[in-house]
Amino acid sequence: MLVVSAPSRQRQHAPLAEIESSGFQDPFEHPGRADAIHQVLAADAVHQIREPDRWGVSPIEAVHDPGLVRFLSNAWASYQAVHPGTHDVVPDLFRMPGLMEGIGEFRAHHGIDTELGRWCFETTTPLTEGTFEAATSAVDVALTATSLVLGGERAAYGLCRPPGHHAPMSLYGGYCFFNNAAVAAHHAVSTTGSKVTVLDVDYHHGNGTQQIFYRRDDVQYVSLHGDPARAYPYITGYADEIGSGRGRGANVNVPLPLGADDDHYGVALAGALQAIDAFAPDLLVVSLGVDAFHNDPISDLAVTADGFEAQGALVAQLGVPTVVVQEGGYDVASLGNNVNRWLAGLATL
């Protein structure tokens, strides 16, 4: 399979030793994840690895608020100018509507301290020196993999890092800065006029992808994930969220119960694939998280490596050209093997 993977420096927010010793917490999402996947795929002769092309910010701004793109491009330098020597950066304050209730509107501040709370929605996604380069490179990876499939390849995998599915149009958070899968899907639709399905198999619901396409009927979003009653991001991912306006019926959420294993997941995925088949997309974009793994530190499902391969094989049966972009998966010791097994299943047909 064709694998698109950025150079190591572009997969990182900052040098590995620095980001993995965050001043706030040891992050589950760190450069070692991408390196672990890359090493396993590079050692498997069935894969051909290539670097991504550069796409610039135009495809990102076609999906995300250009203000978010501008902010992230300058945020680290702006913060260091005011607070030099800071290791990693999270907002001091979030611009919640209740803060100004009965007073008026927020003032048009443009200082970095208030801007952070304008564009970020939570505290587990610090900015570091290499954030913008890594985030734009992840989009380059997704778009290059998409271009390969639109050019005739049956499937391609993009080793995106940082992940993207939690990033909505105008915010970053959940380890995500730009929504790699959404940018890829929109690019395919806007350049070819085709219909696209985004199938999200990450343990955590892709609130960002859902929000971006919720009112659209040219991109279907289908997600299997831990029930948001107990799983991040908690606010979205319920089964009654089916889209609105023109997009009504094009959003499918499948919340999974505690401890769902290979068999349970397989049945749920088979049902989701029926909805995809009915939509009849020309292209499938898979947001591949392998954090449903039984040993993942921030998941409570029970999928095995065999289960991941079975998932890939089920998806292959759709017979739809497929772009796979990496999302979560945090058991680093098993991460590369789990991704490789999923891709092996996809390659069965």
Q: Active-site residues: which are they?
A: 166
Alpha helices in the chain (DSSP H): 16-19, 31-42, 58-61, 66-82, 112-119, 131-150, 180-192, 207-213, 262-279, 305-316, 332-346
Alpha helices in 239-304 (DSSP H): 262-279
Query: How is the beta sheet containing 2-5 ordered, strand by strand?
Result: 48-50, 2-5, 155-159, 322-326, 283-288, 196-200, 219-226, 251-256
**Would you tell me the crossing angle of helices 66-82 and 131-150 to the nearest 10 degrees?**
160
- Residues 6+ positions from 67 with CB-CB distance below 8 Å: 119, 170
Which helix H or strand E contains 225, and what residues bound it?
Answer: strand 219-226
Contact between 194 and 283 (Cβ < 8 Å): yes
- DSSP type of residue 63: T
The residue type at 11:
R
Which tokens in the block code for residue 256? 């999974």
Measure Cα distances from 178 to 166, 190, 208, 270, 283 in Å: 9, 18, 9, 29, 21
Q: Tell me the Cα Rg of the chain.
A: 19
What is the secondary structure of 125-194 as a DSSP string? --B-TTHHHHHHHHHHHHHHHHHHHHTT-SEEEEE-SS--TT--TT-BBTTBSS-HHHHHHHHHHHHH--
Q: What is the rounded CA–CA span in Å between residue 287 and residue 144? A: 15
- DSSP type of residue 30: -
